[in-house]
């Protein structure tokens, strides 16, 4: 998954490609999001990292609060950019420092990983969270959603925040693949510096987690 080359035909298509129809979102109550939103208080300026695709509704939602929103569609970046890989002699930490080059002094208050963790192997996920921990302060909250079902879509859902306790899951593919089946013990080892704050079972085969950085 670390290096993908794309090849494009030089020939023009005989007919313009049919435009895909917008995918409909699947609404879902999110108690984790609601709990996170309750943390926005007073005049403090918050720094929020969203690791999913940019979405106008989500941006508008967080504009209500006194915060700066950083967005990085990490899955798409990893799978569409031709870059050095661990097979070329680099470790994962170098890759994430290259792709997520945050200033050393930047510390996030909230990190929204959504369902991204389900699409990384254990060694990749461990390196990612180790890198993110360098940009956490004591009290940083991480939100992630881990699949409890046997299969998941081959691509992460596009997550859209609707209101304080509702999100929409917008599928990006109908093809399914086996889920990684991360258990609580796995997450404890893969999230250095974080401890479990709370978890909520969703009806769509996922469990939401809130982790607190100590």
pLDDT digits (tens, 9 = 90+) for 122-180: 999 999 999 999 999 999 999 999 999 999 999 999 999 999 999 999 999 999 999 99
Is 125 within a domain? yes
Name, in order, each residue with C-beta under 8 angstroms of 172's C-beta and a sequence gap of 6 or more.
23, 153, 155, 156, 157, 158
Domain count, the chain: 1
Q: Which residues of 120-132 are buried (b: 16+ CB within 10 A; e: fewer)?
A: beeebbbbbbbbb
**By residue range, what is the domain housing residue 132?**
30-213
Is 182 within a domain? yes
Per DSSP, 176 falls in state E
| Other residues' Cβ atoms within 10 Å of the Cβ of residue 35 | 18
Indicate the helix (H) or strand (E) that contains 134. Answer: none
pLDDT, residue 109, reads: 97
pLDDT, residue 38, reads: 94
8 Å CB contact between 58 and 159: yes
Alpha helices in 86-135 (DSSP H): 92-99, 122-133
Is 132 within a domain? yes
Mean pLDDT, residues 25-39 taken together: 95
Is 62 within a domain? yes
Mean pLDDT, residues 189-207 taken together: 94
Is 141 within a domain? yes
Is 10 within a domain? no
CATH code where residue 193 lies:
3.40.50.150
């Amino acid at each position: 998954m670390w290096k993908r080359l794309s090849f494009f035909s030089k020939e023009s298509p005989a007919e313009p490609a049919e435009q895909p129809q917008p995918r409909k979102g699947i609404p879902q109550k999110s108690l984790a999001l609601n709990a996170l939103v309750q943390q926005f208080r007073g005049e403090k300026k918050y720094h929020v990292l969203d690791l999913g695709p940019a979405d106008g509704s989500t941006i508008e939602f967080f504009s209500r609060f006194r915060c700066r929103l950083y967005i990085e569609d990490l899955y798409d970046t990893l799978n569409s950019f031709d870059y050095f890989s661990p097979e070329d002699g680099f470790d994962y930490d170098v890759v994430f420092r290259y792709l997520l080059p945050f200033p050393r002094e930047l510390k996030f208050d909230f990190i929204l990983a959504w369902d991204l963790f389900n699409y990384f192997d254990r060694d990749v996920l461990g390196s990612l969270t180790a890198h993110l921990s360098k940009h956490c302060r004591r009290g940083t909250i991480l939100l992630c959603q881990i699949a409890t079902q046997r299969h998941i879509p081959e691509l992460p859902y596009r997550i859209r925040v609707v209101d304080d306790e509702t999100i929409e899951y917008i599928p990006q593919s109908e093809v399914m693949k086996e889920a990684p089946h991360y258990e609580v013990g796995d997450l404890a080892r893969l999230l250095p510096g974080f401890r479990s704050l709370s978890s909520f079972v969703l009806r769509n085969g996922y469990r939401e987690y809130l982790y607190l950085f100590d």
